[in-house]
A and B are shown apart, each in its own frame.
Chain A
């Protein structure tokens, strides 16, 4: 059974960089789109970005200038860095696995971490 677990940075100060790591267990980190998704309090889900194991990355255009997602296959982990954070970045952050839809140029998120609340506050 594939399991994903986010690290817990808790509180991040405004203007600093938010760093999260997701550890993948029970499955290979290859051939999937490793993704970050967030949900601000009382709001909907927002896709942040995805990293395909071959090295291709795609980011939400609204966050692209501040986001970096990377993969560490030796540790079965992938990471999120979001720079210059503000209170608007306060959210529950989820890591998720994107699995290609057979025969179609898209994927779906079949495994999710439990989520971690990141609060941006001084």
Chain B
């Protein structure tokens, strides 16, 4: 399958921890990258590879992977973390084709 499935929405209390998951067959082979999308703004890369953060991304963002599931964890969520989050990976076709997850809306209460 070339699909990446995410829960549509999750909520987290301010300062608490939230985990967002991404499931797909291709994740058994390839790492996911994660993107934060806020209304009217371009997507921002927050995690790539095994667990790498680009410069400027707070260390409360972390990534992990097990089997066919990749996870993005926000430890100590802040109000500014409220956004849509998408995973992305190569698909299982063997070509350099990419697929985005279905997206998760994170609400910080």
Q: Which residues of A pack against B, CB within 8 Å? A: 33, 35, 37, 39, 44-47, 50, 52, 56, 58-61, 94, 96, 101-102, 104-106, 108-110, 112-115
Query: Complex Cα distance A60/B42, Å?
Result: 21
Total residues of chain B contacting the partner, CB 8 A: 26
Contact B90 A106 (CB under 8 A): yes
Query: Complex Cα distance A59/B91, Å?
Result: 12
Contact A109 B45 (CB under 8 A): yes
Q: A106-B30, A108-B49, A115-B42 are in contact. Are A47 and B100 (CB under 8 A)?
A: yes
Contact B98 A50 (CB under 8 A): yes
Contact partner of A110 among B31, B37, B45, B89, CB < 8 A? B45
Contact B31 A45 (CB under 8 A): no
Nearest-neighbor residue (CB-CB) of A112 within chain B? B42
| Inter-chain pairs besides A45-B86, A52-B96, 9 sampled, C-beta below 8 Å | A44-B101, A47-B99, A58-B98, A94-B43, A102-B49, A108-B33, A108-B45, A109-B35, A112-B42
Q: Which residues of B pack against A, CB within 8 Å? A: 30-31, 33, 35, 37, 42-45, 48-49, 54, 86, 88-90, 93, 95-103
Query: Complex Cα distance A96/B35, Å?
Result: 12
Contact partner of A109 among B31, B33, B49, B95, CB < 8 A? B33
Q: A101-B31, A104-B49, A115-B42 are in contact. Are A61 and B97 (CB under 8 A)?
A: yes
Query: Complex Cα distance A108/B48, Å?
Result: 7
Of the A-B pairs whose beta carbons lie under 8 Å apart in the complex, a sample of 21, sorted by A's number, is A37-B43, A44-B86, A44-B100, A44-B102, A45-B35, A45-B43, A45-B100, A46-B100, A47-B98, A50-B96, A50-B98, A58-B95, A58-B96, A104-B30, A105-B30, A106-B90, A108-B33, A108-B49, A109-B33, A109-B88, A114-B42
B45 contact set on A, CB distance < 8 A: 108-110
Nearest-neighbor residue (CB-CB) of A35 within chain B? B98
Query: Complex Cα distance A115/B61, Å?
Result: 25
